[in-house]
Amino acid sequence: MQFTTVWFILIAILWSGYFVLEGFDFGVGILLRTVGKTEAERRAIITTLGPLWDGNEVWVLVAGGATFAAFPEWYATLFSGFYLPLLLILVALIIRGVAFEYRSKHSDKTWRNRWDWAIMVGSFVPALLWGVAFANIVRGVPLEKVGDHIEYVGSFLNLLNPYALLGGLVTLTLFITHGAIFLSLKTDGAIRDRAHSAATKFGIIAAVLAVAFLLWTQLAYSTKSWTWLPILLAPTTWVAGIFANRLRREGWAFLATATTLVLAVIGLFSVLFPNVMPNIDHTTIGLTVHNASSTHYTLKVMTIVAAIFTPIVLIYQAWTYWIFRKRLTAEQIPSPESGTLEATKHLSV
């Protein structure tokens, strides 16, 4: 197998990890005030993410860095053509991160309400725009050869097409459902009950949207019959997850929705390969794993480094999730006025 193919697969794996882990982060953030009705409940909800959210964001940094190193032409075209939506995602992630840290600095109700909305908006924007971005990559964008490089020549409005907007709604509803199931798994009492109900409602909506999007993807943009496999398996595992959630088997439900997100990413990358950014005019060449890649030696060195350090990172992150695996309730979260807030600051409550 060529190193270009290896790194295409590795980047797909990184995005799969990001969607699974940061996906429930976004879902929990969006549901903060829907599932959390009191201050204590909202603080418990945020505490479920406290030790995890910043580690989850590392996946997108590594995915971006891997793209830059392995496929610099893809990186340059993507970040120049998708500049505005990627900037909006970055600003939303910054606001969201600041909100997690600053919400606990003052016990004033108005102060906390404002940061709650910052968390919700900061979670909503990337959950929507990541779907829009990936749908446009699969669909193809206006590209033109300028000198030795292939550049994006469209506008922001080119990215707001029906297929891409549907992709955004799909990731939004998938992440909300995934986050609701995570809350059902990590909490108890009233929070768990509301999260369970939200997972069922949004899960059905997500199933309808996802089936439409995946069928559109396969029929309109795939030239391979075998890509039907992940596209058909994804709805199957999603339905299994919703069914497990109804039975209050949250662990199995979370595993099933996580599998769905992985299958969805695999399906999109499978449809895309060997392109990394196709031209919307299919008579003109776009960016492929071959004309967008770094040198053979660069990819070889990167592969050796990744083989050594990737297992270490995965083991550490798995250990983190194991340590913070217990369920939480609102009653377990100390009041901001109790004098114990300093001891729980690291949980960003």
Please indicate whether residue 125 or residue 2 has the higher confidence score (pLDDT).
125
Pairing of strands 143-146, 275-277: unpaired
pTM for the model stands at 0.90
pLDDT at 341: 42
pLDDT at 336: 60
Please indicate whether residue 347 or residue 66 has the higher confidence score (pLDDT).
66
DSSP secondary structure string for all residues of 150-219 = EEE---GGGG--HHHHHHHHHHHHHHHHHHHHHHHHHB-THHHHHHHHHHHHHHHHHHHHHHHHHHHHHH
pLDDT at 339: 43
> Under CATH, which number does the domain 11-347 receive?
1.20.1630.10
pLDDT at 94: 94
CA distance 191 to 211: 29
Report the pLDDT averaged over residues 237-243.
94
Task: List the single range of 111-115, 151-155, 198-202 with lowest mean pLDDT.
Answer: 151-155
Residues 320/326/327/329 CA torsion (nearest 10 deg)? -100
Residues 135/136/139/143 CA torsion (nearest 10 deg)? -160
Report the pLDDT averaged over residues 311-316.
86
Q: Tell me: cis bond preceding 274? Omega within 30 of 0 counts.
A: yes
For the chain, give the mean pLDDT: 88
pLDDT over 90 (residue 244): yes
pLDDT at 153: 83
For 179, the token pair is 């986050």
**pLDDT class for 334, splitting at 50, 70, 90?**
low
pLDDT at 259: 96
pLDDT over 70 (residue 286): yes
pLDDT at 344: 43
**pLDDT class for 346, splitting at 50, 70, 90?**
very low
pLDDT tens digits, 138-153: 998 888 887 777 888 8
**pLDDT class for 349, splitting at 50, 70, 90?**
very low
Report the pLDDT averaged over residues 240-244.
94
pLDDT over 80 (residue 13): yes
Domain residue ranges of the chain, discontinuous segments joined by +: 11-347
pLDDT tens digits, 248-272: 999 999 999 999 999 999 999 999 9
